[in-house]
A and B are shown apart, each in its own frame.
Chain A
Amino acid sequence: MKTITTETDLGTYLVRLGDDNLIIAQRLGEYIASAPELEEDLAIANTGLDHLGIARHLYTLAGAIEGDGRSEDDFAMQRPERSFTNALLVEQPNTDFAFIMVRQLFFDAYQVPLWRWLSASGNVDLAGIAAKGLKEATYHLRRSSSWIVRLGDGTAESAARAQAAIEGLWRYTSELVTSDDLEDRLARNGLVPRSSDLAGEWTVTVDAVLEDAMLMRGSDPFQTSGGRTGVHTEHLGPLLAELQWMQRSYPGATW
């Protein structure tokens, strides 16, 4: 058992952010060829690619800080479900296009203030990754916001689907902007923000988009969590089974 130091904490935190980005990238990848039009398939693929790239850089940095020689692939492919600490929101399975865009809006509205904060982190390597993440997340948010407005202010069918997606995903939103001991320790050293400090901006962003879209916030006050401690919904296991199948069957395979 390693003693907890700022370095081990930072490594744990980087893997957490990496997991968020890897898992949503995989979900977006699953949806390619199911979007309502070809251009949106391209957009979904490229958004996923941005998240995958960020995950790779975060895992690589986590491995360097850890110093045990773990590579980005080791983090992505060789860990069991309980070791993943992504937020529950990003693992929720794709249903329809409205669901994809609502999940993306909720996630983008969290990532923009997160990356903005981290681009001034005391860890310069993390700050560099975050500065790039901020540019990308800002663009993602612009796209997801405009889609939610088009869906909400579109047909009765598109508005109903968007509202159903909001209801279905609302319970996973508080977890994004709730802090824990890990963040508190790192925040005291000026390395990361407390997620709860991002809650205000998240709410303002989401409320403004929903108002433009003539959609309502989720009506069910129930909120759930567990992702940050590795306790997931039943949906992460099957996702990882598909993601990791090759490396689990043929460990270390390269080509």
Chain B
Amino acid sequence: MVTTRTATLEAVRRLLAGVTDPEIPVLTIEDIGILRGVDLLDDGRVLVQITPTYSGCPAMEVIKEDIRAVLAEGGYDTEVSMTFMPPWTTEWMSDEGKRKLAGFGIAPPRSELTITDEVLCPQCGSGRSKVVSEFGSTACKRLLVCTTCGEPFDHFKEM
């Protein structure tokens, strides 16, 4: 029974590795750190716990549907629940996720431990930039412009 349970949870996690953020499609929900837990309920259904990045993040509804859909294809009936405590932080974003973000043209959040004023331009790597707006195309990003290469870019804000 224990092995079945472990095997099922592993299979579910493999399927969930295919669920990405609809607004940042290079990141999986695990990369961002919003996937908070996977469990089996007594009635056989799968429980997936997620937490929002921002209170009003419109992607959460789509992500919930995507989770249900991808697990339904794998034959699982799923309940998706939202948790708020502890609140999401960019510290939960994986290093792999940060690399993928930079490759996608979005400056990743800096670690709180090493925070400086420098945000590296994802285009040219320069550390010289200035803030254009405290918010970018989504609530989790702000808009900077690189003063070296002149390209504007999004920065995933530390939170």
Contacts and interface: CB of A to CB of B under 8 A. Distances in A.
Interface string A51-71: 111101100000000000000
A54 B133 CA distance: 22
Interface in A1-52: 39-40, 42-43, 45-52
Chain A contact residues: helix, strand, loop or mixed? helix
Looking at chain A, what size class is its interface with the partner chain?
20 to 34
A46 B88 contact: no
Contacts of B52: 53, 132
Interface string B77-103: 000000111111000000000000000
A124 interface: yes
A57 B135 contact: no
Contacts of A143: 134-135
Contacts, number: 71
Which of A50, A54, A132, A142 counts the most chain B CB atoms within 10 A? A132
Contacts of B87: 128, 131-132, 135
Given A40-B133, A42-B135, A42-B137, A131 B57 contact: no
Interface of B: 52, 54-58, 83-88, 132-139, 143, 157, 159
Given A42-B133, A45-B135, A128-B85, 15 more contacts: A39-B135, A42-B135, A43-B134, A48-B56, A49-B58, A49-B139, A50-B55, A53-B55, A53-B56, A53-B57, A56-B55, A129-B55, A135-B87, A136-B55, A142-B134
